Amino acid sequence: MSEDKKMDLTEETARKWLHERGVEIQDIADLVYYLQEKYHPDLQMEECVLNVERVLSKREVQNAILTGIQLDIFAEKGLMEEPLQSIVGSDEGLYGVDEVLAFSIVNVYGSIGFTNYGYIDKMKPGILKDLNDKSSGKCHTFLDDIVGAIAAAASSRLAHRVAHTE
């Protein structure tokens, strides 16, 4: 991100919370690379990082990050009412609201993001595997889907841009 662009409080907080929950820009860029490397043989990691940065600059994405992380923290601290506490706390498979929140991110860059998201959510490479590890004591019911969605959206953005240059 260019240093002369001033971040507002929402973007700054979203980035800070990602970092505090153990997610770095590079982790998400690695997922973008994972999704796109077979389609773009000359893909450079810098392009992946740039596309992640662009996705993170979107207000809809920042709002989803803040909402999802806040809900994860509430579940982690036992601050939700039952049965929601148990559902979110255990990342119940049929809950689905975490994926619905992630779709708000995926939607930003078109339908290819849905297929990217579905694939990466199923495979759980890189940071997604770590976020899904229930033994950490952290609740990442929303965060793993949000990170996957950011990677899927950045991957979609990258694919659209490459298509325009070919």
DSSP 8: P
Confidence (pTM): 0.94
Give all domains of the chain, ordered by start, each with its CATH number: 35-165 (1.10.3760.10)
Residue type, 100: V
Query: In the chain, helix, strand, coil percent, each to 5?
Result: 70, 0, 30
The string of pLDDT tens digits covering residues 30-65 is: 999 999 999 998 999 999 999 999 999 999 999 999
Mean pLDDT in each 10-residue stretch from start to end of the chain (166 residues)? 68 98 98 96 96 97 98 98 98 96 92 93 97 92 98 95 65
